[in-house]
Each structure stands twice: as C-alpha cells, then as structure tokens.
Amino acid sequence: MALIETDSLEKRYDTVTALADLTVTIEPGVVGLVGVNGAGKSTLIKLALGLLEPTGGRITVLGLDPIADGETVRARVGYMPEHDCLPPDQIAAEFVTHMARVSGLPAARARERASETLRHVGLYEERYRRIGGYSTGMKQRVKLAQALVHDPELLLLDEPTNGLDPEGRRAMLDLVHRIGSEFGISVVVCSHLLGEIERICTSLVAIDAGRLLRSATLSAMTQHSDLLMVETDEDPAGLAELLTGQGLQVRTEKRALMVRMGENPDETYDLIRDGVADLDLSLHRLERHRHQVADLFRDLPTEASHVNA
C-alpha cells in the first residue's frame, strides 16, 4: 500500500497557494521530499497528519483519510516537526515517556519504550538530563525519539538536520537510514538539500512552488543513459569535431565527450575507437554514462529564484 497518495491536492493560506494540483504516489521506503524553503514540504506533511485540511483535491495516508481517520493515522505515523518545540525544563526520559502515553501506551510500557528509543537515537546515557541543557544535535535526537516511541509504520521527518554541523548532519542521516533499513519503518524525510539526503533514500519526490517537479526511485534515476563518456589525456576538441563530422551527436562536458549511442551502439564504439587511434590520442576512459541524481534535478530552482504563487 502507498504511504501517501494525493490527487490534485491543493492548499491555500489566504492569498498564498502552498500546494497546487499535486498528484503523487509515495511508495514505501526511505523517501526524500525535496524542494527549496517555501516549496510546500511542511504543508504536505501537515496535511498528511490531518493537522491541516486541504482546500482542494484529496490525500490519503496508509490508505486512510487524515481528517476523517485522524486518530488512526496519528497512531500509525510518527512526526518530527521542523522547529524547536521541546519543553526545556523537562528531562528527556520524562518527555518521551509522556509522548508515548499521549500515543496511548500504558505507563510501564511507555517508560520502557522511551528508554529503548532514547537508546536507539544515542541518548541513553544522557536521558535523565534537562532538555534545555542539550546541544542542538541532542534536541534533534529527542524529537526523533518522540516520533519513534509508539512504534509507527511511517515516520514523517521535517528537516531533521536543521541547525546541525556537517558531522551532526551525517550522523542524523545515518540514524534515519538505519531506522529505514533495520527497523523496516518507512520514512518520508523533508530537506532543501538534495545532495545531502539522496544517499540515504530509496526514492525522491521533488516539489517546487507547491507543484510536483519529479518523483522516481533512485535506481530508476541512476540507470545507464544513452550516452558514452569518452575521456582522453589530451584536449578532446579534435575528436569531437571528427565524430560530429561522422554524424554522431557529441557534447563536451568539462574534459570529457558525451557521445549519444543512438540506434547502433557497436558502430558508435568503433567510430570512437578509430577516431582516437587516427588522432593518436590516449584513451583514458570509455564507458556508458550513468545518470546522476543531481543531473535530473538540475531544474530545481535555487532559493533566490523562487517566487510564491
């Protein structure tokens, strides 16, 4: 069953359209929801939790309507909000136990689960300290622990690496990856940094200005392309000219040539090999080019170019 399915989903806040005509199916796995700040990621998460109501279209989560079946959805889904929302005067173990109780666990089981989840997120030793004295990284881990404590089927994580240094970001993403791979919990993780989350995701959904830009599994994205990558030790300009003259489609990318294989790959290989020999070049690399995720998301606008609808 799909984790989240939307059909022409729309969310307007007065004059701002945060989501417009969004139709997407998010399948189980570790899913990166990427888009610049303001793209509509948090709005989608809040609609999925039933915290907001759509102004148009439809959304289902684990096959349920988050408004009509809000309690069931929230019992089966864990949510880590983006902003700091922790009570500074409480100790972590008490807070996470409290959140487990809110999710319906009996007292003894709630204490047990709180200890287990704080151990999973690496806060076991520090669990009896006040949250106000924690570093940003530790606070992010408490937020993750409270999202996990009731053993959800799906975790919605809104920018879990916010405010962390590079080492902290890596550690947080490793933790998210382990939750997906070791516990088998599906995760939707929001980020405005594609390069950062792509390594832990099984699929990516990109949105911009509230619209779907692209959605695909990582394996489909990194399939072999129709291009051969040719690298020579020397300047490849002469080879590019020769191959173009022979009717091949050639593009120069940094010091490499990208040659379209077309209908007849064997002939393309032969023409490249003969061209390299005729021009007395030394061939450094000749291989089928793989798509890079970043190539496929090149049209993701930068923050500066983003304008609200």
Ligand X SMILES: Nc1ncnc2c1ncn2[C@@H]1O[C@H](COP(=O)(O)OP(=O)(O)OP(=O)(O)O)[C@@H](O)[C@H]1O
Task: Pick the closest to residue 33 from 176, 163, 183, 140 (CA basis).
Answer: 176
Lay out the site mask for ligand X across 152-181 (x = CB under 6 A, - = otherwise): -------x----------------------
In the shown chain, the binding pattern of residues 81 to 110 toward ligand X, with x for contact by CB under 6 A and - for none, equals: -x----------------------------
Under the binding rule (CB under 6 A), the answer on residue 35 touching ligand X is: yes
Closest to ligand X by CB, 18 vs 149, is 18
Stretch of 39-47, 116-124, 149-157, 254-262 lying at the interface with ligand X (CB under 6 A): 39-47
42 binds ligand X (CB under 6 A): yes
Q: Identify any residues that bridge with 227 across adjacent strands, giving them in sequence order.
A: 260
Q: Does 193 bind ligand X (CB under 6 A)?
A: no
Q: Is there binding between residue 194 and ligand X (CB under 6 A)?
A: no
Cα separation, 120 vs 178, whole angstroms:
10
Residue of 10, 24, 43, 156 interacting with ligand X (CB under 6 A): 43
Residues 6+ apart with CB under 8 A from 281: 232, 233, 234, 236, 238, 239
Reading the block at residue 70, the tokens are 């809000």
- Pick from 186, 106, 112, 189: nearest CA to 143: 189
Strand, coil or helix: 57: strand
Total of residues contacting ligand X (CB under 6 A): 14
Please choose, out of 32-40, 134-142, 217-225, 281-289, the segment that lies near ligand X by the rule CB under 6 A. Answer: 32-40
Told to check if 308 binds ligand X by CB under 6 A, we report: yes
- Largest Cα span, the chain: 79
Q: What is the DSSP string of 1-35?
A: --SEEEEEEEEEETTEEEEEEEEEEE-SSEEEEE-
Residues lying near ligand X in the complex (CB under 6 A) are found at: 13, 16, 18, 35, 37-43, 82, 159, 308
